[in-house]
Amino acid sequence: MSPAAPDLAALARWDTPALSNALRRTDAGADGQEYTDGSIHRVAGPTMAGIAVTATMRARRPGGDAVPVAELHRAVLAVGGPAVVVVQDLDEEPGAGAFLGEVNGTLLAALRISGFVTNGRVRDVPDLQGMGFAVHAAGACVARAHMRLTAVGVPVRVAGLDVAPGDLLHGDGHGVLKIPAAAAPALPALAEAVRAEEQEVVSWARSADFTPERLLALKRVRH
Ligand SMILES: O=C([O-])CC(=O)C(=O)O
Ligand SMILES: [Mg+2]
């Protein structure tokens, strides 16, 4: 990776809400943040941070629009660091067939991806749980159906989040957050500052100093 690349390991030590709190203190503010809605959840794996590699797929009906999976593998390798593979299932009713299962997952694990995100479904879930990368999906499904990748390296939209190739993504059990590249270097220190402030409140609430009367007297707005 180039020297200007974000410190993904440093970001991966934080939970996603903490980085969202940190982002509020940058130009992104509260409204400039992009993250997944609740329509997908983490199915497997740890906190992830990585660079988006995108693809689209279809599965419900057959079609002559397949592109080789090798294109995805090439794009993952081109990142030169931890990639998060983001696959948009383009079917009107997504989830008929899974791209990610034991075999595709093992190949992507061998390429050292840090995460996989889809609005569709995945299968071979017990195997995915041991692969070491995070999996965020709408759920599990039974079949492969007519699954094929239909494009690699295109802009995608997954669970309300627009993702372009090269975007920086962070995710945990709360969801997936897109981190503006310019903001990334400042985030660990900002997250540390927010945490210190929050822990002051938490420690006080647990201390002998705390009384309901003192809490009301503070007229707190936020917490
Ligand atoms: O059949 C597929 O391509 C999906 C799958 O279950 C696997 O990768 O093991
Ligand atoms: Mg399988």
Q: Enumerate residues lining ligand 1, CB below 6 A.
A: 98, 101-104, 123-124, 144, 147
Q: How confident is the model at residue 4 (pLDDT cuts 50, 70, 90)?
A: low
Tell how far the Cα of 95 is from the centroid of ligand 2, in angstroms. 15
In a domain, 215, yes or no: no
β-strand partners of 88: 56
How far is the C-alpha of 105 from the C-alpha of 102, rounded, in Å?
5
In a domain, 120, yes or no: yes
Q: At what angle do helices 102-110 and 69-79 cross, to 10 degrees?
A: 30
169 CB-near residues (< 8 Å, 6+ apart): 48, 49, 50, 51, 52, 84, 86, 115, 117, 163, 176, 177, 178, 179
Q: Is residue 104 a contact partner of residue 70, using CB atoms and an 8 Å limit? A: no
Mean pLDDT estimate for the chain: 95
In a domain, 223, yes or no: no
pLDDT, mean of residues 69-77: 98
Q: Atom of ligand 1 at shortest distance to CA of 127?
A: 9
Query: From the CB of residue 222, how many other CB atoms can be counted at a distance below 10 Å?
Result: 6
144 alpha carbon, closest ligand = 1
In a domain, 121, yes or no: yes
Q: What is the pTM of this model?
A: 0.95
| Residue 179 pLDDT greater than 60, yes or no | yes
Q: In terms of residue numbers, what domain contains 140?
A: 8-187
Q: For the purposes of burial, counting CB atoms within 10 Å of the CB of 218, is it exposed (0-12), middle (13-18) or buried (19 or more)?
A: exposed
| Residue 17 pLDDT greater than 50, yes or no | yes
ipTM of the complex: 0.96
Tell how far the Cα of 219 is from the centroid of ligand 2, in angstroms. 56
Task: State the pLDDT at residue 2.
Answer: 45
In a domain, 140, yes or no: yes
Binding site for Mg(2+): residue ranges? 124
Percent of the chain with pLDDT over 90: 92
pLDDT, mean of residues 160-184: 97
Domain count, the chain: 1
Residue nearest to atom 7 of ligand 1 (CA): 101
Percent of the chain with pLDDT over 70: 98
CATH number at residue 32: 3.50.30.40
The sign of the CA dihedral 31, 28, 176, 78 is positive
pLDDT, mean of residues 46-51: 98
Ligand 2 ion: residues within 5 Å (CB): 101-102, 124
In a domain, 220, yes or no: no
User: How far lies 82's CA from each of 5, 27, 51, 184, 213, in Å?
Assistant: 11, 26, 6, 15, 50
In a domain, 205, yes or no: no
Task: State the pLDDT at residue 221.
Answer: 77
Residue nearest to atom 4 of ligand 1 (CA): 101
| Residue 1 pLDDT greater than 60, yes or no | no
Question: pLDDT tens across 180-208, in order?
Answer: 999 999 999 999 999 999 999 999 999 99
Question: pLDDT tens across 119-164, in order?
Answer: 999 999 999 999 999 999 999 999 999 999 999 999 999 999 999 9
In a domain, 214, yes or no: no
Task: State the pLDDT at residue 102.
Answer: 98
H or E, element range at 176: strand 175-179
How far is the C-alpha of 132 from the C-alpha of 44, rounded, in Å?
8
β-strand partners of 85: 53, 116
Tell how far the Cα of 185 is from the centroid of ligand 2, in angstroms. 38
